[in-house]
Amino acid sequence: MDAQTWPVGFRCLLLLALVGSARSEGVQTCEEVRKLFQWRLLGAVRGLPDSPRAGPDLQVCMSKKPTCCTRKMEERYQIASHQDMQQLLQTSSSTLKFLISRNAAAFQETLETLIKQAENYTSILFCNTYRNMALEAAASVQEFFTDVGLYLFGADANPEEFINRFFDSLFPLVYNHLINPGVTDSSLEYSECIRMARRDVSPFGNIPKVVMGQMGRSLLPSRTFLQALNLGIEVINTTDYLHFSKECSRAFLKMQYCPHCQGLTLSKPCMGYCLNVMRGCLAHMAELNPHWHGYIRSLEELSDAMHGTYDIEHVLLNFHLLVSDAVIQAHLNGQKLLEQVNKICGRPVRTPTQSPRCSFEQSKEKHGMKTTTRSSEETLANRRKEFINSLRLYRSFYGGLADQLCANELAATDGLPCWNGEDIVKSYSLRVVGNGIKAQSGNPEVKVKGTDPVINQIIDKLKHVIQLLQGRSPKPDKWELLQLGSGGGMVDQVSGDCDDEDGCGGSGSGEVKRTLKITDWMPDDMNFSDVKQIHHTDSGSTLDTTGAGCAAATESMTFTLIGVVMLLPGIW
């Protein structure tokens, strides 16, 4: 039947059914029942009764009155009623399932974009500022952000290991190009020795530990958040295809299709009758409600806490500034590091080679390093907030599912004649039970026994993920002030609100600022005119260098910088 004739045919059948339903007593023909049975594709009409007759072989739709059903029809109706229930469950959860799955995909895509953007910022830092080491650093930068992505999306990776691996690989480059510069490179063996010595000589001060702290505080909550969303989808998929007991299959049949056997093809169950059947058959599912409510509440608490240095967007997009600080720290302690490395690795045996220079400026788009502009409305934190606001509406989804199905889909409107399981009546007269397993002891329509192992397994998973979510929710009052450097050099403040005064800048707050105190580690041959600033805004639209000399230097001088870059011999 084509798309145009289908509605017309369906309306005709409904009209016939209305006529049949009006004859609730003394049905003379089974024609409407036969047509609806065939319309539902439940089977051929051959062998079906033309007129009501006795049905002694019926198992569920038994009646003292003549019936339009046979045992075979009853079996087909039972299959149809089970399919109808599965379809109702899937339809009722479809909006919730789409909400979670769509946002899980969107969050992952946004994180992938942020990782690429942070990698680009770091590559731009080396290409614009430390050009001689840029191409050599490219592999380490790419490997680092690949590891970040793998960890975020569930791989068995260790952030401490890949952070250490990045700074281990960075030290030989800084040593060869800044601390002991020249037009030649040391041997691979010597570079490996320098790499191995990094953790002993601590050329970057406490910056690697700061990176570990920031990455640990931001990566793990984001990873857990994504894992929790995937579990939410798993919970819905499981309950969509929940296996019903034989008792419930018979109750669904009796409620939905037994009226057909009496020619009542348009009748609907009474509200109280429907509630007893659905609350009984969804009693185990209703036990999910407090855990599902706790799951959404824990997601909300974790999302609210993911700001400042707990916000992965802030941490990733400011990683290049810490790398810049690390390079500066190492250079300012160059003489001490030179002596330490010579003591550990000896003096290098050099071979004359020209260091490759970065060609980034000429081919930004070719190498996929073009930065993108992002408005404040597009931040990950705003997306999480919108998602949680929508998800909050479903906190009691499982507790009210039976009532929702009866009110919206199954039951007759109050005041209208309805089916009570035996006949058409004005109202349902039996006791209506509540939701949950404990309330079913007096259910007159469905006997609920024991527990459901599938539901119990889902509850265990929800309990576990709630513990993970609550364990990843940071406590702002325990945030610490981290000192960078061992000689009173760099100071990076990390606070709960992480505002501009704290020196870490929030998402969308404009400039990302860090405080540098010039003290006794200022080298004698360094001039303030040799200092440039990297200006970075949260929009991500530019990352460039502009001259910014200081008028004078004092013994102890503090100034605000946005990533400090030294123009030192051998860099350009």
Q: How far apart are the first and last CA of the chain?
A: 76
3-class DSSP state for residue 304? Answer: helix
Band (pLDDT 50/70/90 cuts) for residue 51 is: confident
Give the per-residue pLDDT at 424.
92
SS3 208: helix
Name residues whose C-beta falls within 8 Å of residue 523's C-beta, 6 or more positions apart in sequence: 332
d(CA 86, CA 527): 76
Check residue 345 and give its pLDDT. Answer: 86
**Each residue of 302-335: pLDDT tens digit?**
999 888 778 899 999 999 999 999 999 999 998 9
Binned at pLDDT 50, 70 and 90, residue 185 comes out as low
Whether residue 559 is predicted with pLDDT greater than 80 in this model: the reply is: no
Confidence (pLDDT) at 29: 86
Q: In what order do the strands lie in the sheet with 531-536?
A: 543-547, 531-536, 564-566
Mean pLDDT score, 298-303: 94
Query: Tens digits of per-residue pLDDT, 54-95?
Result: 877 899 998 888 999 989 889 999 999 999 999 999 999 999
Q: Whose CA is closest to 503, among 482, 532, 531, 478? A: 482
Output the CA–CA distances (angstroms, integers) from residue 348 to 180, 275, 352, 503, 548, in the order listed. 10, 83, 12, 40, 36
Which of 388 and 522 is assigned the larger pLDDT? 388
Residue 553 has pLDDT above 50, yes or no: no
CB atoms within 10 A of CB 366: 10
Query: What are the tens digits of pLDDT across the range 471-498?
Result: 866 544 333 322 223 333 333 333 333 4
Average pLDDT, the chain: 77
* Whole-number Cα distances in Å, 86 to 146, 249, 326, 534: 42, 11, 59, 59
Q: Can you tell me the mean pLDDT for 180-189?
A: 68
Sequence-distant (≥ 6) Cβ neighbours of residue 524 within 8 angstroms? none
Express as a percent the part of the chain with pLDDT over 70: 71
pLDDT of residue 356: 57
Residue 418's pLDDT is 94
pTM listed for this prediction: 0.73
Backbone angles phi, psi at 448, to 5 degrees: -105, 125
Burial of 22 (0-12, 13-18, 19+ CB in 10 A): exposed
Which of 115-119, 232-236, 247-251, 354-358 has the least mean pLDDT?
354-358
Give tens-digit pLDDT for 410-457. 999 888 899 999 999 999 999 999 999 999 999 999 999 888 999 999
| pLDDT recorded at residue 380 | 86
At what angle are helices 207-240 and 319-332 packed, to 10 degrees?
A: 160
* Residue with more model confidence, 164 or 5: 164
> Distance (Å, rounded) from C-alpha 257 to C-alpha 80?
9
Report the pLDDT value the prediction gives residue 39, as an integer from 0 to 100: 82
Residues 6+ apart with CB under 8 A from 488: 517, 519, 520
